[in-house]
Amino acid sequence: MYDGADTVVLYEELAFQDVLPLTWKPMTSAIDRELTASFDERNLRLLQAWEAMDEHMPSEKQKVEDAPYAAEIMRLDLKVNLLLDLVGQLLVANHPRPHPVPVRFNALGAMWRGSGTLPEAGEQGIVEIYLRDSLAEPLRMAGRVTSVTPEGGIKVKFLPMGEAISDLLEKLAFRRHRRQVAGARHPRR
């Protein structure tokens, strides 16, 4: 039985964890509401696109008579996913991304291991996280560095974002957690 020991949490909330291209862009001037509002608009579209691409077909256990066109839809879904992967490879080839790093994030903040010149606690800036190759834009979230460890661990607290973005980030983290729980209960053979 799953005991929750591997639950990914950040700022006492469920968090999404992966190895993704990420960059920190320090800001020397104050982050204004117009900037964060433009991030909210783009982030909303980006998370809606992620959600649409992340939807899965009904399980293979369902009978064919329950979904007479399921095999055809699954075949089309695989073709669209292949096309999205190819487009993603072209995007990455033409617009290089930062190196992937282990990252944990939710609507409240992010945590990752940096290298090179690290930000200082109290520094404000923008975290850019590329969710997948087929999405041209990264998530952009403004925040302030709350801590930096000697080993390069960076923790950022985000400025408040729109409720719709917060909800979608929460859903993203929950789905990842649910898949981890299902994987722990039913390991692949």
The residue extents of the domains of the chain are 9-58+68-185
Q: How far apart are CA 122 and CA 112, in angstroms?
A: 16
Q: List all residues 6 or more positions away from 1 whose beta carbon is below 8 Å from its beta carbon.
A: 185
- Judged against a pLDDT cut of 70, whether residue 55 lies above it is answered with no
- Judged against a pLDDT cut of 60, whether residue 122 lies above it is answered with yes
Q: How far apart are CA 2 and CA 181, in angstroms?
A: 6
pTM above 0.85, yes or no: no
pLDDT at position 187:
65
Higher pLDDT, 138 or 66: 138
Helix, strand, coil tally for the chain in percent (to 5) = 40, 25, 35
Highest CATH level, class, for 9-58+68-185 = mainly beta
The dihedrals phi and psi of 128, each to the nearest 5 degrees, come to -115, 125
Q: How buried is 97 (Cβ within 10 angstroms: 0-12 exposed, 13-18 middle, 19+ buried)? A: middle
Which run of H or of E encompasses 144? strand 139-148
The dihedrals phi and psi of 7, each to the nearest 5 degrees, come to -65, 130
Q: List all residues 6 or more positions away from 80 whose beta carbon is below 8 Å from its beta carbon.
A: none
pLDDT at position 65:
52
Mean pLDDT of the chain: 83
Q: What is the mean pLDDT of residues 147-165?
A: 95
Q: Are 156 and 118 in contact (CB under 8 A)?
A: no
Q: How confident is the model at residue 3 (pLDDT cuts 50, 70, 90)?
A: very low
Helix (H, G, I), strand (E, B) or coil at 105: strand
Burial state string for 120-132 with b = 16 or more CB within 10 A and e = fewer than 16: eeebbbbbbbbbb
Q: How far apart are CA 160 and CA 171, in angstroms?
A: 17
Q: How far apart are CA 141 and CA 43, in angstroms?
A: 8
- Judged against a pLDDT cut of 50, whether residue 57 lies above it is answered with no
Q: What is the DSSP letter of 29?
A: S
